[in-house]
A and B are shown apart, each in its own frame.
Chain A
Amino acid sequence: MSIKKKTYVLTVLAFLVWGILASLLAGYYYYSYGDVLSKTQKPIVTVNIGVNYGNGTVIWHNGTTVMSGGTLLNVTMLVADVKYTLWPGAGAFVDSIDDLANSGSYYWMWWMYTAFGWSQVQVACDRYIIGDNETYYWYYEDTSITPLPSPP
């Protein structure tokens, strides 16, 4: 490949990377803005939280009311004793709930009920802004199983 052709190809690639990344980031901020806006329309929100301790015990905290704009971590701390570690860039990683700590392949995972059933949200609980009438589920489960078992 001649130097001229190589320069041309690499310039096109550089612009392609810039264009795609800029579009994705614009899409992300557009989506995030709309999401936060819709979740903060009401001053108070009501959510349901289930905690499954992995031994057959499931405790539901239905109708928990909190100020809008709060995160799942905030609301979980209202109903349970939560210990967590803050990871730079990634957010809060829950180490234990009600003194039941992550151990071996068992970790606290969080799920949300959606139109498609239970969905695992790929974001840290302190990064997720809660919405009115949403249902969350903390599940102490074996993460070595693929696909991860959804709440029963």
Chain B
Amino acid sequence: MDNPTIYNDAYMNTRRIALLSILTALSVAIQLAPRFPSVESTSLISFTVGVVFGSWTGAFLGALVMFANSYLSFWGLAGLNMPFQMVGMGIIGLVGGLYGKTIQKGEIVSKRNIIEAVILGAFLTLIYDILTNFGFAVQLSLFTGASLWLAFVGVLITGAVFAFIHVASNVFLFMVAIPLAKIMRQLTR
């Protein structure tokens, strides 16, 4: 193609669009289903999509899922926390894309890559939790008049167990991130 656009083979083909649509719908459905608190798979899917399709696609998918989730979630409206959730999940997809660039072609599923993905997953989950806890603290501070700093520390401490469950569950989930990326790559080739 002489004049590449996002619709040509260099960026998107029908298989990729179909897979991304299914993954987005699947992520939203899992987010909305009654589930164990703080256990989610959107971060895994955003990260993996980032690895396979690039940073911006991963970030867009993560932010889009959290946007839908903020209105329809089983746990209630996200309210002012919505932008923090979107940014947090966007960062996970973005870093997935950056990480994908560091993986050598042909060695996508190695023990080393799986360990790297798990560490990144734990770190990104913690960043997501800190961001969304900050969002909740902003909301709390605005509506109660409490100082933002005090509210943030309070929310971080009272939410510590949920943060732990979130990070621990994602450590296990991210073990499949790299094998999943390989499958996605094969499906869209």
Contacts and interface: CB of A to CB of B under 8 A. Distances in A.
A56 interface: no
Interface string B157-178: 1111101110100000000000
Contact of A21 (B80, B115, B145, B163): B163
Given A10-B116, A17-B167, A146-B79, A28 B126 contact: no
A28 B144 contact: no
Contacts, number: 72
- Indicate the member of A14, A88, A143, A146 with the most B CB atoms within 10 Å: A146
Nearest to A147: B143
B145 A116 contact: yes
Contacts of A150: 143
Interface stretch (A45-53, A67-75, A117-125, A131-139): A117-125
Contact of A143 (B77, B144, B159): B77
B163 A90 contact: no
A88 B36 CA distance: 7
B28 interface: no
Interface residues of B, number: 29
B37 interface: yes
B68 interface: no
Nearest to A30: B157
Given A16-B123, A117-B144, A24 B77 contact: no
Contacts of B157: 24, 27-28, 31
B156 interface: yes
A90 B119 contact: no
Contacts of B4: none
A14 to B, nearest CB: 5
A62 interface: no
B41 interface: no
B116 to A, nearest CB: 6
A27 B160 contact: yes
Contacts of B77: 143-144, 146
Nearest to B98: A1
Nearest to B122: A17
Contacts of A117: 144-145
A25 B122 CA distance: 16
B76 interface: yes
Contacts of A89: 36-37, 165
Given A88-B36, A122-B159, 11 more contacts: A10-B115, A10-B116, A13-B122, A14-B123, A17-B123, A21-B163, A31-B157, A116-B146, A123-B158, A147-B139, A147-B143
Interface of B: 36-37, 76-77, 79-80, 102, 115-116, 119-120, 122-123, 126, 139, 143-146, 156-161, 163-165, 167
Interface of A: 1, 6, 10, 13-14, 16-17, 20-21, 24-25, 27-28, 31, 87-90, 114, 116-117, 119, 122-123, 143-144, 146-148, 150
14 contacts: A6-B116, A13-B123, A21-B126, A21-B167, A24-B157, A24-B163, A24-B164, A25-B161, A89-B37, A89-B165, A117-B144, A123-B158, A143-B77, A147-B143
